[in-house]
Structure 1
Amino acid sequence: MFIDSHCHLSFPELAEQLPAIRQAMNAAQVDRALCICTTLEEFPQVHALATGYSNFWCSVGVHPDNEGVQEPTVQDLLERAALPRVVAIGETGLDYYGMEDRKGGRSIADLEWQRDRFRTHIRAARAAGLPLIIHTRSASEDTLAILREEGEDGAGNRAGGVFHCFTESSEVARAALDLGYYISFSGIITFKSAQALRDVVAFVPMDRMLIETDSPYLAPVPFRGKTNSPAYVPHVAHQVAQVRALAVEAVAETTSRNFERLFARAQA
């Protein structure tokens, strides 16, 4: 019934509990999940999840915030994208959050390596014919600009994809939608402080919306502060349903159909 379009089941917090997580998913009617890759070193474990379970798929990519890891080439990504049950490129994008504290006082100009890495992923996605999974944090202007520069203009030969765990404004959502991208919402939309983001939920067309957990992070209310799990994605759907005055079953059906359309390789 529900699909978690973005989770990190290879991370230790979840990998060590996989049988219990799968049991909880079944009980919560979460019948599919997309396991996200964040480094090339991690890819074999992520891919093993996708090939080991009939209701899991995976991506290949290097997260923009990861340093000191193998830097991907287009060929690196294409070779892995050709493997069974790989349905997307990413997560990729830009992360400028906390420049002073998290990035040693470096400036945005010093993060050209992030922008180069993002371009590599876009080019690989276009070559592979797979969608992008985009992470953008405090970097929406550059994220959109690079997508446009690389030909992701909403028409013609483009990769497309999804802005995952969306936390930006309606204006950024509109720009992403205009480029042909989907918008995915996480448990953040259940937080008391997230009314502005719930306004974006009301704005994004239902046929361009996905739901996710980004587990093990960002557990929704009433589990906030605990380890997140794909079994909690129905709580995101319930919040969308409340904002949109829809039945939760309608949200589940629509977001699942959107997932199947975007990640065309991931068919049940």
Structure 2
Amino acid sequence: MSMSWIHPREDLPIGLFDSGLGGLTVLHQLRRLLPGEPLLYLADSARLPYGERSPSEIRAIAEEAAHWLRARRVKAMVMACNTMNALAADVIRAQVKAPVVSLIDALAASLNLNPGDHVVVLATAATVYSGAYGCAIRLYFPTVRVQEIACPGLVPAIEAGERDSARLEQLVTGYLTPVLRNPQPIQALILGCTHYPIIRSLIQRLLPWPAPLLDPALPAVTALQQMVQTTGLAAHQPRGSMQFCCTGQTTHFATVVSNWLRQPVQVEQVSLQSVLLSH
């Protein structure tokens, strides 16, 4: 291992890893709170969605991504995918050898709840079946009711460009049915997939009463901001660079990212498997 890995430098990038576009919601918070940081965004779009894959598949993908990020020498990392956070955080942390921020842990630590409160988590099937959000929240609030709802179909729809279509509204309404049947309002709804803040307004509109919609990206990036500042790893420049890589088709991804950022971007096509095989 090179010395730069043992002693990270402030000019090295912060890594973000997601299956596709969802991590852009995390990138948004990074650019807002840490505008001077160089960023490296990895989208494993060739294998999305992760949420319908088995735990063993997800952990294998995590190892490949960790080796890739390690080779690119990131100084810190945000796991910009809740499914990876839920099922493979230990794999990422063991391989990357740099500080790794968890969306789930950061969100749980940021909550302000009362005994008996009812919290709903919308997430992928894999995240829900792991029970990761419930476990993390109950560490801080043992008596809070955590209702985790699997939402298969949302990630592919969002990746396809749907934002407020009738089909998407029907999907979301169906997933919210267990919540809508309850006459009592919930205290919070957690957007437990980084894709879901993209359709925040649709979800909010379908709720019959006001409830805070919580995006784990904000507390996660806040935790990262504190880390780089206290460890002396904060970049000293007004605007950091951004590099985008994906394993799938680059043209569509570049178009969506360019529209999101309102500036042209270039996307490098990469292979995660080849990096793992070389180790």
Asked if these proteins are the same fold (TM beyond 0.5), I'd say no
Higher radius of gyration, 1 or 2: 2
- TM norm structure 1: 0.37
Richer in helix (by share):
2
